[in-house]
Amino acid sequence: MSAESSALQDDIDALNAKITKQGAHVRSLKKASSSNADEIGSAVEALKALKLEAEVLRLKKEELDPTVQFNRKSFDELILRKMFIVPSFEIHGGVKGLFDLGPPACGLKAAMVDVWRKHFVLAESMLEMECTCLTPEVVLKTSGHVDRFTDLMVKDPVSGECFRADKLLEDAIDELIEGNPDMPTEEREGHLRIQIQADAFSPTELDEQLKKYGCRAPSGEAFGASFPFNLMFKTSIGPEGTSVGYLRPETAQGLFVNFRRLLEANSQRMPFAAAQIGNGFRNGEYLSRALRIATHRVI
């Protein structure tokens, strides 16, 4: 790697750190009832600008070293062949979004959890918990997940199969840029700007962009109108079926609602942090061009 390429990578790493921090800030603003639309919009625009800057630097780095290419197809085949990740219930046809970790992935996961626990829980004296995966509706209603934890989906009018609209747009723009290596920088940056905004478009705006970039369903027909879809798995708790619950979409809620208990267990001293590692469940589906194993479970 040349000195210039190395310097660009350092800049990219620094921007990625800023993107992570800004993304967390945007999520906290969206969850806070006191935040206004202007404040959220300003934070989102700042996040988009950081992502665009990082993408421009990444493309410049690729231009400096065009021989270094990642073969995604070969990588996906290797993952399946070596049984890192395999589709669940494959002999019965499988279910999109469900997968199993094979022996290499189980070993890798165990090693990562061990490093995580030593670094965050033990070294930093965090309070570790393991909370239930099943959450009553009132908890997620209070946090805003019941009303706002949604993605925009589009449906194939022939097969009825649904896809995340923003990911379709992102993939279409990737294909356009990859297929036109001589595209002027200004035009490319314009496409990237739209790509970064994909998850912020309204249903009408997203439909217009999908039409603009020629996104069509696998059947060849045009997609139907975008519609919101709640990503949580809904269920009932108890034999009566009157108590509504959800499989948790993230691990944070269990920690939040146990704050008083954690404070008491820590001798009424404010804990530095609480930590948890476990599964979250999301009923969305992202079939990327890269890795065709979508997931309903995130670790």
Q: Cβ(109)–Cβ(297) under 8 Å? A: no
Q: Rounded CA gap, 232 and 249, in Å?
A: 6
Q: Where are the domains of the chain?
A: 1-69
Q: Which helix (H) or strand (E) holds 154?
A: strand 150-155
Q: Cβ(105)–Cβ(86) under 8 Å? A: no
For the domain made up of 1-69, give the CATH fold.
Four Helix Bundle (Hemerythrin (Met), subunit A) (1.20.120)
pTM for this model (two decimals): 0.63
Per-residue pLDDT tens over the stretch 79-116: 999 999 999 999 998 887 889 999 999 999 999 999 99
| Apex 242 CA angle, 238 and 247, nearest 5 | 60
pLDDT higher than 90, residue 68: no
Mention every residue, 6+ apart, whose C-beta is less than 8 A from residue 51.
19, 196
Specify whether the backbone of 93 is left (phi greater than 0), alpha (psi in -120 to 50) or beta: left
Residue 130, classified by CB atoms within 10 Å of its CB into exposed (0-12), middle (13-18) or buried (19+), is exposed
Closest CA to 162 of 217, 200, 199: 217
Per-residue pLDDT tens over the stretch 207-230: 999 999 999 998 889 999 999 998
pLDDT higher than 90, residue 282: no
Q: How confident is the model at residue 203 (pLDDT cuts 50, 70, 90)?
A: very high
Q: How confident is the model at residue 290 (pLDDT cuts 50, 70, 90)?
A: very low
Q: How confident is the model at residue 294 (pLDDT cuts 50, 70, 90)?
A: very low
